[in-house]
Amino acid sequence: MIGIFQAKIKMFIRSPWVFVMMTAMSIGFALIIGGTGAYTAITVPVYTTSEGIQNSIIGDILEDSDTYTFVWSSEAEVMEQLSSNKAEAGAALGEDNFQMIVGVETPSAKIIEQTIEEAYAKQAQYEHIVAASGATTVAGQKAILDELQASIAAPVFNIEVENFRGEDAFIYDNTFQTLFGFTLFFAIYTIAYNVLPILVEKKEGIWDRIILSPVKKWEMYVANLVYSFLVGYLQVGIIFSVFRFIIGVDFHGRFIETLLLMSVYVFAIVALSILLTAIVKTVAQFNAVLPIIAVSSAMIGGAYWPLEIVESKFLITLSKLNPITYGMEMLNGAVVYQYPLKELLFPISILLLMGVVFIGIGIHLMERRHI
């Protein structure tokens, strides 16, 4: 087993090009499309009819957004920006409600709308709390608000704060969306191409040679699985480390957790690759099928754009069978939503289950079909 493993490592070191390319592409795409949150924020012009909004909680929340830069403008400016296509969407903010001003219906517009909606929802919640606290003086109310703000900003969330967030509030963070999306997407290629040699070795008779040797069947599979897992995991580790330590994306303090969670995803993808390798008959078929699977999974799994904006029932159902969906859910849950591990157990167990089932079926198929 160790021998097989060593041979694989040797060959990997000798031609690491697929690996290097996929890693570089993940980093490159995530950087170009996602940016690091600082300079790619989309500008959204807004105007208001009521003076107080800009300094209210709504104003604060909008200004805090990482994804969008809300620019206070006049109505005329907003219209001008939209008609000249300088902005995708704008909004008119009222006291208790707002109106979207949209040039063309785009995914971003939807997300902007959700972002603003959320700000209003928060404001309402704050008001309820302040009202419930019974503070009557302006100073007293302000103290409570400050306390609230502070507890939200604090890195450790307590139950109290969690309640503040509505069940299905949707946070869109472009940096992590693209970083996670492209990492999950390109990892499929790296892993699949490191599982593929099983097929090649079977065809070429290397596998038969090993079968005739004292090496056990399970050792052959374990060596291959462990190797593919490690290569996939190494790639993820490199990508995340580059973003964490070189580019300076902070993962909201959950870098280690993110890495650990990725092991589950990598495992599921190794399993998927085994299944794929068992189903196809030739390398050519594999080469044809892999991009279809990878790209379509990425599309319906929310790697390219957030699943939250997908409306088709059919696609949503399909996404439930897709490891990327759960990978994104897990990573976004951990980093963007800051969920505790307990709340991530669902996607984690689905991925583990998928892994076990895929490997089971995959190995069964491989064993049944000789050569």
Binding site for other proteins (CB under 8 A): 2-4, 6-7, 10-11, 14-15, 204-206, 208-215, 370
Say whether 205 sits in a helix, a strand or coil.
coil
Terminal Cα-to-Cα distance of the chain (whole angstroms): 21
CA distance 114 to 328: 20
Rg of the Cα atoms in the chain: 25
Q: Which is nearer to other proteins, 155 or 214 (CB)?
A: 214
Q: In whole angstroms, what is the distance from residue 301 CA to residue 181 CA?
A: 9
Cα–Cα distance, 350 to 346 (Å, whole number): 6
Give the contacts of 111 (CB within 8 A, at least 6 positions apart).
67, 170, 172, 306, 308, 309
At 312, is the secondary structure helix, strand, or coil? coil
Among residues 142 and 369, whose Cβ is nearest to other proteins? 369
Work out how close the CB of 369 gets to other proteins at its nearest, in angstroms, rounded to a whole number: 11
Between residues 2 and 284, which has the closer beta carbon with respect to other proteins? Answer: 2
Q: How many CA atoms lie within 13 A of 55 on its CB side?
A: 3
> Of 94 and 205, which has the nearer Cβ to other proteins?
205
User: How far, in Å, CA of 258 to CA of 239, rounded?
Assistant: 12
Nearer to other proteins, 128 or 216 (CB): 216
- Pairing mode, if any, of strands 89-93 and 98-102? antiparallel
In angstroms, give the least distance from the CB of 88 to other proteins.
50
Residue 16 C-beta: closest distance to other proteins, Å: 11
Residue 81 beta carbon to other proteins: minimum distance, rounded to whole angstroms: 57
The structure tokens 């929802």 sit at 121
Indicate the residue among 307 and 363 with the shorter CB distance to other proteins.
363
Distance CA(7)–CA(190), nearest Å, equals: 18
Q: What minimum distance in Å lies between the beta carbon of 226 and other proteins?
A: 16
Beta strands across the sheet bearing 98-102: 68-72, 42-48, 89-93, 98-102
165 near 152, Cβ under 8 Å? no
Q: Which is nearer to other proteins, 120 or 286 (CB)?
A: 286
Under 8 Å between Cβ of 330 and 324 = no
Q: To the nearest whole angstrom, how small is the minimum distance from the Cβ of residue 21 to other proteins?
A: 17
Nearer to other proteins (CB atom), residue 142 or residue 281: 281
Tokens in use for 60?
A: 């604060």
DSSP 8-state class, residue 196:
T
Minimum Å gap between C-beta 218 and other proteins is 14
Write down the least CB distance from residue 213 to other proteins, Å. Answer: 4
